[in-house]
C-alpha cells in the first residue's frame, strides 16, 4: 500500500506538469478563436453575449459562497438551466453528466423507481432498508435527507446542483464518505415575475411546472412553485395495467425576510405526492436446478397450475407476466427555517428542519402468475435536524473559519410482507415421508411430514416489522489560512457521537413461529474526522491543490435476519483519501479545465450479499467485509470557442479492488466492487443560431458513457451491465428570455439496459433486473412574464 502511494505521488507530479503545459497550449491556440469576427457581430447580438467567458458558478461546498474555481475540492456544478438543457429531470439523471458518479433505482429488489443508490468513486450503498445508511449524502436546501426512499425526485425550480466528489466528513458529517450531492432551490426575486412550463411527450406524458415571485414589501419576498405530472408506464402486464405509471403533484413556498443589513431569515415549506406503479423489472435468467426452485416445482407447481415459478423475459423486458402487488408511492413533506445574523467580528447561521415521509412499494420478482418471489413494503420516517454555524475571519482576514454544531434525530418504521416460495411449507407438511425417504418421526433428517421442525425453516412467507431510532451529535471546525497571497492551508476536524436503536419482530406466516421474536438491540459509535489541504495559485486563473481527508459511513444492523443470531450490528466503514487536483480558466476564460487524481484506503466495507444455507434457503447478510483500494482520475472540460458554441466534456477512470476480506464473506478478492465501472464519460455540444429579430435557435446533443460493471456484490454474470452509451438531443427556439419552445429526445437510440438487480443463484435460482427508461420524445413550451 505504501508503495502504491509513492507511485501515485510520482504520477501526480507528472500529471500536474502535463496538465499545466496542455493548458498553456490550449490557451495559446484559443486566443485567436476568441477574437471577434466583424461579419458575425451583428447577427450574434441576438445571443445576448457580452463576452466569451464561461459562466462562473457559485458553490457552498465550504459553507460560504465561493467561486467553483476557488475551492480546492473536486466539484461538478450545474445551474438549473444547464440540467434542463441536458434533459436531466431528476436526481438519477444527473449522474450521466458527472465523472465517476453512478445513481440507480430499484436496487436490492425494492421494486421502486423512487429509491436511489448513489455511488461516487466506487463508494455508496445499494440497500434501501432503513437499517442501512447511504454512502453519499443528499442535501436539499442545506437539509440532509437520511433515507434512500423517495430521493429519486424530480428537479423542480432548481437554482443549482453541486456534486462534491470525495469524503466530505468535516463540514457535512456522516454518510458523506463517497461525497455529497447538494441541491439548492431558486430564491425569491425582488420583483414580480413568473415562469410557466408545459411538457408533453410519449407514454401519455403531460407535465406542468409553474413558479411565481411575489415581493410582499421591500423586506419580505416570496416565491411559490407547483408541479403536476402524469405519465403512463412503459411496460405492460399481461393481466392488465402497466409498470412504471407515475402521477406527481407537489409544491414549494419560500419566504425571505431581511429586516436589516445585519439579519435575514428564510422559511421553506414543501410537499410532494407521488402515486405510481412498480418499477419495470425483468427476469434475466432462471436455474430450475437451484435447491428451492426444484423443490417448489416438484411440490407446489402442479397445485397452482404452472410448469415453473419463474418466466424469463430478458428478450422482451417491457411485457410482463407479473401478477403480484403493483405500487410505488411516496408522500413527503417538510419545512426548514434558516436564520442569519451578522455581528462585528463574525456571523451566525441557524438551520432548523423537520421532515416526514410515507412510502409504499412492491414488486413481483418472478414475472409469473406464481407467488414465488414477491415483496410489499410500507414505511414511514420522520427526522429533525438543527445546525449552528459560526463564520468569521481573523489575523487581518488571512484566516477564514467556520465552526459549528449539528444535531440529528430520526425515527423510521418499515413493514414488509415477503412471499417467497409460497405454498412450500404446507406442501411439506402434507408429505407422508421425509424427503430423505425416512418415515415420519424422529430423528428428523430432512423436510417433510407434519410437525417436522425442519419444515419451519422453509416457511418463507414473512411478516417483517422494523423500527429504527437514530440520534447523532457533532461539533466541527474548518479554517483556511493564507500563508502567502498564493498559498493557502486548510484544516478541519469533526467530532461526532451517534446512537442507533433497532426494534424488530419477524414472523413466519404459515407456521405461526417467529423468526425473530420482539427484540431490541442498540449500538453507538464515536468518530473523529480530520482534513488537511494545501492549495497554490499560480495566478488568478490557475490553481493546484492536494488534500488528505477521512470520511465514514455510519454503522447499522442486519435488517434481514433469518435467525436470532443474525440480529447484530455492523461497524461503520471508513476511507482515507489522498487527492491532487488542478483547476484552470484558460484562454481569457474561454476554456475551463478541472482535473483530479486520487487514491482511497477503504476499510470495513459494508457488503450486502445473498447466500444460501445447507438446504438452499436464502440468507441475506449485511456485514463488514474487508478492505479495498480505489484509485482514479477525473477530468471536467468546458470550451466556448465563440458566442455560438458551448462544449462540455467529462471523463472518469477508476481502478478498484479488494485487498483483504474477512473470514466467512461469500466473495473473493478477484471480484469487482459493485457499481464501479472503470470508465465513465460525458460530452455535450450546443450550437446557437441567431434568427431574425431577437430569436435564437439552439441545437444540443448530450452523450453519456459507462463501461460495464456489476450491480451486485456477488458479481452475478447474468446481471453484469454492458458498455452503455446514452444520447439526449434537444432543439429550442427562444426569444429574449421571454418564451422558449423545445423538442427533445431522451435515450435517442432507444438503448435497452438495466440499472440495478438482485440474483439468487444458490436458492431461488433467478436473476432480476431493474430496467432503465426507453426512448422518450417530447416537446415543451416555457413562458416568462
- What one-character-per-residue DSSP string does 56-75 give? PPEE-TTSS-EEGGGSSS-E
The pLDDT score that the predictor gives to residue 51 is 56
Q: What percent of the chain has pLDDT over 70?
A: 92
Please report the pLDDT score of residue 32 as a whole number.
Answer: 40
Quick one: pLDDT at residue 615? 58
C-beta atoms surrounding 199 within 10 Å: 18
Virtual torsion, Cα 539, 543, 545, 551, nearest 10 deg: 130
Out of 422-431, 485-494, 525-534, 566-575, least confident range:
566-575
Whether 699 contacts 690, CB under 8 Å? no
Residue 614: per-residue pLDDT: 61
**Average pLDDT, integer, range 357-382:** 96
**CA-to-CA distance for 109 and 152, rounded, in angstroms?**
16
Query: Which pLDDT value is given to residue 562?
Result: 77
204, pLDDT greater than 80: yes
Name the residue among 44, 7, 3, 1 with its Cα closest to residue 688. 44
Answer positive or negative: Cα dihedral of 360, 365, 367, 372. Answer: negative
Mean per-residue pLDDT, 272-281: 97
- pLDDT at position 612 is 64
Residue 130 sits at φ, ψ, to 5 deg, of -70, -10
pLDDT of residue 31: 40
pLDDT at position 616 is 57
- H or E segment at 478? strand 461-482
* Amino acid 9: pLDDT: 43
Question: What sign does the dihedral 132-250-204-705 (CA atoms) show?
Answer: negative
Reported as a single tens digit per residue, the pLDDT across 542-561 is 999 999 999 999 999 988 88
- Per-residue pLDDT tens over the stretch 586-624: 998 899 999 999 999 999 999 877 666 665 566 677 889
The pLDDT value given to residue 559 = 87
pLDDT of residue 620: 73
- Asked if the model's pLDDT at residue 81 lies above 50, the reply is yes
Does the structure show a pLDDT above 50 at 703? yes
Strand boundaries in 587-663, DSSP class E = 591-603, 606-612, 618-624, 626-639, 645-661
- Tally the C-alpha atoms within 13 A of residue 148's C-alpha that lie toward its C-beta: 30
60 with 161: CB under 8 angstroms? Answer: no
pLDDT at 13 over 60: no
Q: What's the pLDDT at 28?
A: 40
Average pLDDT over every residue of 190-215: 96
**Mean of the pLDDT values across residues 446-465?**
94
Report the run of H or E that residue 210 belongs to, with start and end. Answer: strand 205-213
Q: Which CATH architecture has domain 2-422+460-784?
A: Beta Barrel (2.40)
| pLDDT number for residue 692 | 85
Count of residues making up the chain: 785
Phi, psi torsion values for 289, nearest 5 degrees: -90, -5
The whole-number average pLDDT for the span 631-640 is 96
Output the CA angle 154-158-164, nearest 5 degrees: 90
Q: Where are the domains of the chain?
A: 2-422+460-784
Q: In whole angstroms, what is the distance from residue 212 CA to residue 737 CA?
A: 16
List the Cα angle 703/738/186 in 5-degree steps: 65
- Distance between CA 383 and CA 266 in Å, rounded? 20
- pLDDT for 613 equals 63
The predicted pLDDT at position 623 comes to 87
Rounded mean pLDDT of the chain? 91
Q: 16-20, 146-150, 634-638: which has the minimum mean pLDDT?
A: 16-20
Q: What is the pLDDT of residue 543?
A: 97
Contacts of residue 313, Cβ cutoff 8 Å, sequence gap at least 6: 282, 283, 319, 320, 321, 367
For residue 82, is it left (φ>0), alpha (ψ between -120 and 50) or beta? Answer: alpha
Query: Can you spell out the DSSP letters for 286-332?
Result: E-TTSHHHHHHHHHTHHHHT-S-S----TTSTTEE---S---EEEEE
Kindly list the distances between the CA atom of residue 79 and the CA atoms of 160, 270, 302, in Å, as whole numbers in the listed order: 4, 21, 59
Max Cα–Cα distance, the chain, nearest Å? 98
What pLDDT, in 10s, does the model give residues 294-349?
A: 999 999 999 998 999 999 999 999 999 999 999 999 999 999 999 999 998 899 99
- DSSP for residue 87: T
Rg over CA atoms, the chain = 27
For residues 521-532, average pLDDT: 96
**CA atoms of 142 and 156, how far apart (whole Å):** 16
Is residue 18's pLDDT more than 80?
no
Please write the tens of the pLDDT for every residue from 223-265: 999 999 999 999 999 999 999 999 999 999 999 999 999 999 9
Mean pLDDT of the region 461-465: 95
Mean pLDDT of 347-367: 97
What pLDDT sits at residue 693? 82
- The answer, yes or no, to whether residue 40 has pLDDT greater than 70, is no
pLDDT value of position 669? 93
So what's the pLDDT on residue 544? Answer: 98
Question: From the centroid of its chain, how far is CA 168?
Answer: 15
Distances (CA, A) of 747 to 153, 166, 204, 728, 754: 19, 29, 17, 6, 13
Burial class of residue 33 in the structure, from the number of CB atoms within 10 Å of its CB (0-12 exposed, 13-18 middle, 19+ buried):
middle
Amino acid at each position: 500500500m505504501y508503495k502504491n502511494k509513492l507511485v501515485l505521488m510520482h504520477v501526480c507530479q507528472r500529471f500536474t506538469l502535463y496538465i499545466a503545459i496542455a493548458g498553456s497550449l490550449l490557451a495559446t491556440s484559443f486566443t485567436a478563436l476568441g477574437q471577434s469576427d466583424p461579419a458575425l457581430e451583428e447577427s450574434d447580438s441576438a445571443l445576448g453575449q457580452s463576452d466569451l467567458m464561461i459562466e462562473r458558478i457559485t458553490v457552498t461546498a465550504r459553507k460560504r459562497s465561493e467561486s467553483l474555481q476557488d475551492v480546492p475540492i473536486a466539484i461538478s456544478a450545474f445551474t438549473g438551466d444547464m440540467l434542463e438543457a441536458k434533459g436531466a429531470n431528476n436526481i438519477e439523471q444527473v449522474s450521466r453528466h458527472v465523472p465517476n458518479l453512478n445513481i440507480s433505482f430499484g436496487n436490492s429488489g425494492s421494486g421502486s423507481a423512487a429509491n436511489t443508490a448513489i455511488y461516487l468513486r466506487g463508494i455508496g450503498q445499494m440497500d434501501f432498508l432503513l437499517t442501512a445508511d447511504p454512502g453519499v449524502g443528499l442535501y436539499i436546501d442545506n437539509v440532509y435527507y437520511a433515507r434512500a426512499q423517495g430521493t429519486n425526485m424530480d428537479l423542480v425550480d432548481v437554482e443549482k446542483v453541486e456534486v462534491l466528489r470525495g469524503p466530505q466528513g468535516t463540514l457535512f458529517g456522516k454518510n458523506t464518505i463517497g461525497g455529497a450531492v447538494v441541491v439548492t432551490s431558486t430564491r425569491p426575486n425582488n420583483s414580480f415575475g413568473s415562469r410557466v412550463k408545459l411538457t408533453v411527450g410519449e407514454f401519455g406524458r403531460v407535465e406542468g411546472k409553474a413558479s411565481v415571485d411575489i415581493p410582499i414589501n421591500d423586506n419580505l419576498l416570496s416565491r411559490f412553485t407547483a408541479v403536476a405530472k402524469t405519465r403512463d408506464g412503459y411496460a405492460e402486464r399481461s393481466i392488465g395495467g402497466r409498470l412504471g405509471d407515475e402521477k406527481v403533484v407537489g409544491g414549494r413556498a419560500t419566504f425571505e425576510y431581511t429586516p436589516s443589513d445585519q439579519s435575514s431569515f428564510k422559511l421553506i415549506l414543501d410537499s410532494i405526492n407521488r402515486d405510481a406503479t412498480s418499477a419495470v423489472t425483468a427476469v434475466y435468467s432462471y436455474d430450475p436446478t437451484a435447491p428451492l426452485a426444484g423443490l417448489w416445482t416438484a411440490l407446489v407447481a402442479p397445485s397452482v397450475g404452472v410448469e415453473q415459478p419463474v418466466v424469463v423475459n430478458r428478450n422482451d423486458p417491457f411485457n410482463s407476466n407479473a401478477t403480484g402487488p403493483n405500487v410505488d408511492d411516496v408522500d413527503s413533506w417538510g419545512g426548514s427555517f434558516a436564520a442569519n445574523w451578522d455581528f462585528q467580528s463574525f456571523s451566525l447561521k441557524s438551520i432548523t428542519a423537520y421532515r416526514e415521509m410515507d412510502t409504499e412499494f412492491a414488486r413481483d420478482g418472478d414475472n409469473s402468475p406464481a407467488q414465488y418471489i414477491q415483496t410489499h413494503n410500507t414505511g414511514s420516517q420522520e427526522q429533525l435536524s438543527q445546525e449552528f454555524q459560526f463564520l468569521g475571519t481573523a489575523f487581518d482576514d488571512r484566516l477564514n473559519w467556520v465552526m459549528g454544531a449539528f444535531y440529528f434525530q430520526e425515527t423510521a418504521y418499515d413493514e414488509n410482507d415477503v412471499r417467497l416460495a409460497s405454498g412450500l411449507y404446507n406442501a411439506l407438511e402434507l408429505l407422508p415421508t421425509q424427503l430423505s425417504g425416512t418415515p415420519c418421526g424422529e430423528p428428523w433428517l430432512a423436510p417433510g411430514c407434519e410437525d417436522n421442525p425442519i419444515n419451519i425453516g422453509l416457511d418463507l412467507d414473512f411478516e417483517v416489522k422494523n423500527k429504527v431510532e437514530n440520534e447523532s451529535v457533532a461539533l466541527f471546525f474548518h479554517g483556511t489560512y493564507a500563508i502567502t497571497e498564493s498559498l493557502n492551508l486548510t484544516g478541519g476536524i469533526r467530532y461526532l457521537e451517534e446512537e442507533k436503536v433497532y426494534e424488530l419482530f419477524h414472523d413466519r406466516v404459515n407456521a405461526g413461529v417467529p423468526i425473530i421474536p420482539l427484540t431490541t438491540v442498540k449500538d453507538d459509535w464515536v468518530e473523529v474526522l480530520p482534513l488537511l489541504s494545501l492549495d497554490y495559485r499560480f495566478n488568478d486563473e490557475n490553481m493546484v491543490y492536494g488534500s488528505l481527508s477521512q470520511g465514514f459511513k455510519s454503522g447499522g444492523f442486519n435488517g434481514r435476519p433469518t435467525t436470532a443470531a443474525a440480529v447484530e450490528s455492523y461497524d461503520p466503514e471508513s476511507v482515507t483519501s489522498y487527492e491532487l487536483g488542478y483547476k484552470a480558466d484558460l484562454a481569457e476564460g474561454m476554456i475551463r479545465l478541472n482535473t483530479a487524481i486520487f487514491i482511497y484506503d477503504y476499510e470495513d466495507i459494508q457488503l450486502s450479499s445473498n447466500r444460501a444455507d445447507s438446504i438452499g434457503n436464502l440468507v441475506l447478510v449485511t456485514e463488514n467485509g474487508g478492505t479495498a483500494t480505489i484509485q482514479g482520475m477525473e477530468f471536467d472540460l468546458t470550451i466556448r470557442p465563440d458566442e455560438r458554441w458551448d462544449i462540455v466534456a467529462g471523463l472518469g477512470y477508476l481502478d478498484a479492488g479488494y485487498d483483504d476480506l474477512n473470514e466467512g464473506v461469500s466473495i473473493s478478492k478477484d471480484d469487482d466492487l459493485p457499481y464501479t465501472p472503470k470508465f465513465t464519460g460525458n460530452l455535450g455540444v450546443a450550437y446557437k443560431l441567431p434568427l431574425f429579430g431577437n430569436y435564437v435557435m439552439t441545437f444540443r446533443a448530450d452523450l453519456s458513457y459507462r463501461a460495464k460493471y456489476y450491480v451486485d456484490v456477488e458479481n452475478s454474470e447474468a446481471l453484469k451491465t454492458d458498455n452503455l452509451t446514452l444520447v439526449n438531443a434537444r432543439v429550442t427556439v427562444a426569444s429574449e428570455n421571454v418564451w422558449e419552445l423545445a423538442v427533445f429526445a431522451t435515450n435517442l437510440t432507444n438503448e435497452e439496459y438495466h440499472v440495478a438487480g438482485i440474483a439468487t443463484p444458490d436458492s431461488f435460482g433467478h436473476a432480476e433486473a431493474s430496467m432503465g427508461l426507453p426512448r422518450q420524445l417530447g416537446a415543451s413550451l416555457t413562458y416568462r412574464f
